[in-house]
Amino acid sequence: MNTSSLATPAVTPAKLPRSRRREFLYLVLALIALTVALRLPAFFVEVFNSDETFLATQAEVIQAGGDLYREATDRKPPLVPYLYAATFNVFDTNDLWTVRVVAMGAAALTAILLALEARRRYGERAAWVAGFLCAFSLIACAPQDGQAANFEIFMLPTMTAGVLLARRGRTASAGVAIALATLAKQTGAATLLPVLYLVARARGRRGIAETLGGFGIPLVLMALALGPGQVLYWTVIGNGSYVGVKTISSYVALSFLLMTLAWIGANLPMVIHLPKSWTLRKSINADGKNNIDLWIWVLSAVLSILIGLRFFGHYYLQLVPPVVLLATGALMSASKRVVTVTVVASGILALIISSAGYFLLPFGSEPKYQAVSRYLAAHSGPNDRMVVWGSVPEIYWASGVKPATRFLTTNTFLAGNHPGRPGSDAAPEDSDPEVWNLFFNDITKQPPRFIVDTATASIRSAEWTPLSRFSRLSELIKNKYRVTNVIDDFTVYQRRKS
């Protein structure tokens, strides 16, 4: 079926520019208002998930002049921690609502870019449909995934821009955009698949070379600024144990099934149009091209979700841009009633899920970090440091006490106790010895005044890797520390006076 007939009918040149600009301005304002309204829980919920407080702690280290990978590392590129730090500087507070405001901007920008692309492919009406479907779908996750200021939400605008630029033949710019997405999270690089397909079709080998050049330059500059060895290790080489396939199990398969079904269910009004989109994949749109690039984009998003075999709801946000455009294309050949039902049903689901953000904690309550954080803040000086054993970076963020080690969550880096896996699968023996050397170097250089043991509180599977499983660390604590308090089952050790 040729969809070019679905484009907006021609109007006189004198009326076209002004009317289109005015209508698109109305759409932009509507999308901003809708995004803010759906994300209002951001102003009322202290913490959606631990990723936010992990990033916030990294940002505080950066604000204090610290080195990201030597003082507060993660297996991620540097863009989002620096974005957090910049946001905290602008607002002069480390409250998480500030970065959620920036996340609102990223979500709205993604919706606006998709509206632009839908208008180019399918016509004026499609811009409204795509923009609204995107705003709804970006919230259609569990609150700690769809509402939080996670890596993915900041990756989406530049990822989307990369595909749009490639579609328009802007090869180098497309490469730069995908590089920025990759600097937010490594999986952004997967979007090179549809981008290279588009530029190869339009400009051949030269287009591919220009795109790869645009992609490579920002990455090289970032590596030179932060240290090539550090960046390479923490974003690529050091991820071996985390993304290894040897942990494939029935648990992993069940996680994939449940999370995929949950995402499909939350986006069902949009997803049910994908079969029709497939039949239309080779049809020519208003811009003279087909939609095969969108299906390659879907494939790249699926690959990004599958890598590492850990299935968190926010990973699925990468599917939203191509699925929105595919569904919009199918809807443009449907009746007005079908379009209305689809958009309204998507909006109702989004409103329900958004409202749940005020009170719903689908995977159990958040750790009671507030009391122990207040205690640490009250008993620490500005130069004191601490180690939180386990995976509760909320304590660093809420107490304001600086980390004594670059490893803000010891579960993953030191204990082989990875998120997205049963705690019973923890394998400390598989931990990288070099990582342990770095840990002990850190705490020797800046000995922590406090060590907070979250394993005794059974938080985030830390009970499977208690301190007693690590003889060298246990011996150090026995000889140099004493228990000073137990608060909400968190055991607080304080360094003995010399």
Which stretch of 334-343, 389-398, 419-428 has the lowest confidence by average pLDDT? 419-428
What total number of domains does the chain contain? Answer: 2
pTM: 0.92
The answer to the question of residue 362 being in a domain is: no
Q: Rounded CA gap, 295 and 102, in Å?
A: 29
CA atoms within 13 A on the CB side of 108: 19
Answer yes or no: are the C-beta atoms of 383 and 69 closer than 8 Å: no
User: How far, in Å, are 373, 456, 484 from residue 450 at the CA level?
Assistant: 12, 16, 9
Instruction: Report, as an integer, the average pLDDT of 341-359.
Output: 94
pLDDT single digits (tens) 62-77:
999 999 999 999 989 9
CB 267 within 8 A of CB 323: yes
Distance, in Å, from the CA atom of 259 to the CA atom of 191, rounded to the nearest integer, reads 22
Give me the pLDDT at residue 343, please: 98
Three-state SS for 305? helix
Average pLDDT, the chain: 91
* Range of weakest confidence among 53-67, 90-104, 305-319, 415-429: 415-429
Mark whether 17 and 128 lie in a shared domain: yes
**First-to-final CA distance of the chain:** 81
Q: Are 192 and 215 in contact (CB under 8 A)?
A: yes
Which residues fall within 8 angstroms of residue 180, CB to CB, at 6 or more apart?
Answer: 79, 158, 188, 218
Report the distance separating Cα 296 and Cα 194, nearest Å.
5
Is 361 inside a domain boundary?
no
Q: How confident is the model at residue 242 (pLDDT cuts 50, 70, 90)?
A: low
In a domain, 233, yes or no: yes
**How does DSSP classify residue 408?**
S
Strand-pair category, 385-389 with 450-453:
parallel
For residues 8 and 189, the model is more confident at 189
- Do residues 278 and 404 share a domain? no
Identify whether residues 132 and 247 lie together within a single domain: yes
Strands 385-389 and 402-403: parallel
For residue 1, what pLDDT is reported? 41
CA of 2: how far to CAs of 92, 212, 297, in Å? 54, 33, 22
Tell me what pLDDT residue 12 has. Answer: 39
Sign, CA dihedral 358-149-141-125, equals positive
The helix or strand, by DSSP H or E, that contains position 388, with its residue range, turns out to be strand 385-389
Q: Are residues 96 and 176 in the same domain?
A: yes
356, 387, 415 - which closes a domain = 356
Q: Is the dihedral of CA 213, 214, 219, 220 positive or negative?
A: positive
- Looking at residue 495, what is its pLDDT? 96
Domain boundary among 325, 356, 387: 356
Residues 224, 123 share a domain: yes
Asked whether residue 288 is domain-assigned, the answer is yes
Residues 214 and 119 in one domain: yes
Say yes or no to pLDDT of 449 above 70.
yes
Does one domain contain both 129 and 264?
yes
Do residues 326 and 153 lie in contact, with contact meaning Cβ atoms separated by under 8 Å?
no
Tell me, yes or no, whether 76 and 145 share the same domain.
yes
Q: What is the mean pLDDT of the segment spanning 468-486? A: 95
pLDDT, average across residues 37-60: 94
Q: What is the SS3 assignment for 393?
A: coil
Instruction: Please report the pLDDT score of residue 2 as a whole number.
Output: 44
Share of the chain above pLDDT 70, in %: 93
- Is residue 363, in this structure, part of any structural domain at all? no
91, 102 in Cβ contact below 8 A? Answer: no
C-alpha dihedral, 152 to 154 to 155 to 159, nearest 10°: 130
Q: Is residue 461 part of a domain?
A: yes
What does the block give as tokens for 39?
A: 């994300």
* Residue 105 placed within a domain: yes
Give the dihedral sign, CA 459/81/48/347: negative
Q: Of 294, 325, 356, which residue constitutes the final position of a domain?
A: 356
- pLDDT of 21 reads 83
Q: What is the pLDDT of residues 8-46, one digit of tens each?
A: 443 334 445 777 788 899 999 999 999 999 999 999 999
Same domain assignment for residues 41 and 145: yes
Are 100 and 238 in a shared domain?
yes
Does 364 fall in a domain? no
Instruction: From 349, 323, 214, 210, select the one nearest 270 (Cα to Cα).
Output: 323
DSSP classification of residue 405: S
Asked whether 245 and 309 are in contact (CB, 8 A), the reply is yes
SS (H, E, C) 112-172: HHHHHHHHHHHCHHHHHHHHHHHHHHCCCCCHHHHCCCCHHHHHHHHHHHHHHHHHCCCHH
Percent of the chain with pLDDT over 90: 78
**CB under 8 Å to 347, separation ≥6 — which residues?**
132, 136
Question: In this structure, what is the dihedral angle of CA atoms 231, 233, 237, 243, given to the nearest 10 degrees?
Answer: -80
Q: What's the chain's Rg over C-alpha atoms?
A: 24
Residue 200 pLDDT:
96
The answer to whether residue 404 scores a pLDDT higher than 50 is yes
**In which order are the strands placed within the sheet that holds 450-453?**
402-403, 385-389, 450-453, 490-495, 481-487
Q: Which residues of 424-463 are buried (b: 16+ CB within 10 A; e: fewer)?
A: eebeeeebeeebbebbeebbeebebbbbbbbbbbebbbbb
pLDDT (tens digit per residue) in 407-417: 999 988 898 88
Supply the pLDDT for residue 245: 45
For residue 361, name the pLDDT band (cuts at 50, 70, 90). low
Residue 206: pLDDT band by 50, 70, 90 thresholds? very high
CB 331 within 8 A of CB 342: yes
Domain membership of residue 429 as a residue range: 370-495
Q: Is there a single domain that holds both residue 386 and residue 336?
A: no
- 455 and 490 share one domain: yes
